[in-house]
């Protein structure tokens, strides 16, 4: 009887492990170590100025694969720029100053040191994959669309966290859809 109880316990623990692995993959939990690839998919909304994901968490120094999508039927072009903490307004205001420059509007990236990662401007139905390394310094790194007029409302945050020894500080972090 004791062996059956131990077998049930082992099966139960294995099932929990499989469940957590599947959950981690499907909802975008941060990966357990910085040497794993963390894939995040972010899409622009077809009609509203918002991203479908407004927050996600990765480990400091993690490899990140961003799949950015401007879906078929979208009414406007969009891009996504990840900027340093506290730099979103500064970057947005730089974009506002260049709104009359038709060349700049083809790819509205001010190209300052505040911009860490940037997509190109995507038209409806386009997607872009960008591989990058998350910053080593933990913090909240804003992302925004810098097509003119969008940056003030079309935004989110990439939370970069240091891993604790037991990884418990990332256990409940997940991708949060725009609500």
pLDDT of residue 121: 97
Domain with residue 23: its CATH number is 2.60.40.420
- For the chain, how many structural domains are there in total? 1
Q: What is the pLDDT of residue 35?
A: 58
pLDDT in tens, 130-172: 999 999 999 999 999 999 999 999 999 999 999 765 555 553 4
* The dihedral formed by the CA atoms of 133, 139, 140 and 144, expressed in degrees to the nearest 10: -40
Query: What pLDDT is recorded for position 110?
Result: 94
Domain that holds residue 24: 2-177
How high is the pLDDT of residue 21?
A: 36
Q: Give the mean model confidence (pLDDT) for residues 71-88.
A: 97
Instruction: Quick: pLDDT tens for 20-57.
Output: 333 333 333 334 444 578 999 999 999 999 999 999 99
């Amino acid at each position: 009887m004791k062996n059956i109880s131990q077998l049930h316990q082992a099966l139960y623990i294995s099932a929990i492990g499989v469940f957590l692995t599947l959950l981690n993959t499907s909802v975008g939990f941060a990966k357990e170590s910085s040497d794993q690839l963390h894939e995040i998919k972010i899409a622009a909304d077809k009609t509203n100025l918002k991203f479908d994901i407004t927050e996600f968490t990765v480990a400091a120094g993690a490899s990140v694969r961003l799949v950015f999508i401007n879906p078929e039927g979208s009414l406007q072009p969009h891009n996504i720029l990840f900027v340093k903490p506290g730099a979103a307004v500064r970057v947005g205001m730089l974009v506002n100053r260049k709104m009359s420059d038709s060349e700049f509007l083809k790819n509205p990236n001010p190209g300052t040191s505040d911009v860490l990662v940037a997509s190109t401007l995507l038209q409806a139905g386009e997607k872009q994959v960008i591989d990058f390394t998350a910053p080593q310094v933990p913090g909240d790194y804003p992302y925004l669309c810098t097509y003119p007029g969008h940056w003030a409302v079309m935004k989110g945050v990439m939370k970069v966290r240091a891993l604790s020894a037991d990884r418990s500080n990332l256990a409940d972090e997940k991708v949060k859809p725009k609500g």
